[in-house]
Amino acid sequence: MPELPEVETVRRGLEPAMVGAGITAVDQRRPDLRFPFPERFAERLQGREVVALGRRAKYLMADLSGGDILVMHLGMTGRFIVEEAGGALREPGDFYQEAGHNAAHDHVVFRLSNGARITYNDARRFGFMTLVPRGELDAHPLFRHLGVEPLGNSLDGALVARLFAGRKTPLKAALMDQRLIAGLGNIYVCEALHRAGLSPLRAAGTLATKAGRPAAAAERLATAIRDVLTEAVAAGGSTLRDYMKTDGSLGYFQHAFRVYDREHAPCPTPGCRGTVARLVQSGRSTFWCSQCQR
């Protein structure tokens, strides 16, 4: 499933075509994806202008004139194909390991007032779209339990300490808990923990002192999370799933992975003689170095 940097790559690719344009027509080709579409979905979108295109955790959110938010989730294989007015095609966030662009999986087509056409293609149909009134977004079941944005200015050592204080759960599990920090996934959690020199097995509560203040480890972790995500977004997302940048070139962050999917490789930490190991936590592979991650 795409992680936060991949979704942000898609958002940045869609933004130039969508923002400021009106939706002149919607071709909805099936009644559902992972979930049924809202009633009168195509009709409710027609004639609306896309005022802004944002992201919350792994959700894309198109702010529409009239007060609704079009919420879109890519699922496992969802992608958008942008056909500009001149006929040029762009695929921000393409899964090349899938079977290519099969038009049989084109489920929704948005036609815009600027001449662009945006097609949502999803082979496995694990993605979904819904409409939420702007004033009800924070209370909506999809969003009301989401934690802080890891790329926001609020994520610092003090906040990490407050979130994790008293928690005995393993640190990696706490980082994957979307109710605490929203949008983090397996790849970038492994990378951030390695950068911070923190074991995925240590209790999350150890990042706070007995007085509830941030331990030095909390500051290191907050910095590592922001840095690894910022670098991944700049590179166009991880190429593990062969995501593409808007201009069609592959993202390159996979080549900068320190530990993810590098079992048995020498630890890249300067001076460390350890090797990257793999363990399974909550059914997911964790890659780490037991020598320098404590």
Structure tokens at 230: 């910022």
Torsion of CA 11, 15, 20, 24, to 10 degrees: -80
What would the DSSP string read from start to end of 50-84? Answer: EEEEEEETTEEEEEETTSEEEEEE-TTTEEEEEE-
**40 noted as active-site residue:** no
From 44, 226, 278, 284, the catalytic residue: 284
Q: Are residues 100 and 197 in the same domain?
A: no
**58 noted as active-site residue:** yes
Q: Are residues 73 and 181 in the same domain?
A: no
**284 noted as active-site residue:** yes
> 144 in a domain, yes or no?
no
Mark which of 106, 139, 172 sits at the end of a domain: 139
> 48 in a domain, yes or no?
yes
Q: Are residues 268 and 161 in the same domain?
A: yes
Q: Which residue has the higher pLDDT, 73 or 95?
A: 73
CATH number of domain containing 28 = 3.20.190.10
Alpha-carbon distances, residue 103 vs 99, 108, 109, 264, 272 (angstroms): 11, 11, 11, 41, 50
Kindly state the DSSP code that residue 249 receives in the 8-state scheme: P
How many domains would you assign to the chain? 2
- Give the tens place of pLDDT for each residue, 53-68: 999 999 999 999 999 9
From 11, 55, 56, 58, the catalytic residue: 58
Q: Which domain holds residue 253?
A: 157-289
Question: Does residue 251 carry a pLDDT above 70?
Answer: no
Q: Are residues 209 and 253 in the same domain?
A: yes
pLDDT band for position 225 (50/70/90)? very high
> 285 in a domain, yes or no?
yes
d(CA 123, CA 104): 8
From 3, 6, 8, 91, the catalytic residue: 3
The confidence score (pLDDT) of residue 255 equals 60
> 97 in a domain, yes or no?
yes
**241 noted as active-site residue:** no
User: CA torsion sign, 144 to 161 to 60 to 63?
Assistant: positive
Question: Which residues line the annotated binding site?
Answer: 105, 124, 167
Q: Which H helix or E strand runs over 111? A: strand 106-112
Which residues lie below 8 Å from residue 83, measured CB to CB, with a gap of 6+?
89, 116, 117, 118, 119
Which whole number is the average pLDDT over 215-223? Answer: 98
Question: Which residues line the annotated binding site for DNA?
Answer: 105, 124, 167
Torsion of CA 166, 170, 174, 175, to 10 degrees: 130
